[in-house]
Copies of this chain bind each other. A is one copy, B any other.
């Protein structure tokens, strides 16, 4: 789902049409009010944000988006009629993921959206993560091994997701704790080991992909059969 915040109804309709033609779900907003409401309902995969808006300025919207935990990771593409370099720099510094200068073609817009989604998807997106026989859908919160659903608890899921997001990378127990639990734990704990253990048995044969690097931590072996 893509949210478009754009006050000019002609342009907005054109954008929505092009997006839908390209296979995306899209919703348009004329001003910030309804946009914020919609955000409370559900989060989009990407936001197209005009800089010049009647009520609230696009840059300040971007700032708010970035400062809130829930929306900080949503990719944002800014659009503006003003060609001024200054705006771009500000927008990029605030963390916009890309920039479109009006007038822009719909082809370019779709291409940029595609590119941004491709870049961000491994981190943010609900794009399904896979490694060998394992596939994990963050949005649905499901894990399949060889197509069979595997019920996992929250922590198990979080750990597996982290490993799948960075295949091959070694994570120390401390890192796993920090990433999956949020807070960094000081003392020593065996809880990670236990979760890894249950994960491995639950995943069955595929559990072997989770390997332990002695003295360091755990990692997901990337299967090189392709």
Contact = CB atoms under 8 A, between A and B. Distances in A.
A92 B98 CA distance: 12
Interface residues of A, number: 38
Given A123-B123, A166-B123, A95 B108 contact: no
Given A141-B216, A214-B154, A89 B118 contact: no
Given A89-B107, A216-B154, A140 B168 contact: yes
A122 interface: yes
A93 interface: yes
A112 interface: yes
Nearest to A141: B170
Contacts of A122: 123
A168 B138 CA distance: 11
Interface of A: 85, 88-89, 92-93, 95-99, 104-105, 107-108, 111-112, 114-115, 118-120, 122-123, 139-142, 153-154, 166, 168-170, 213-216, 219
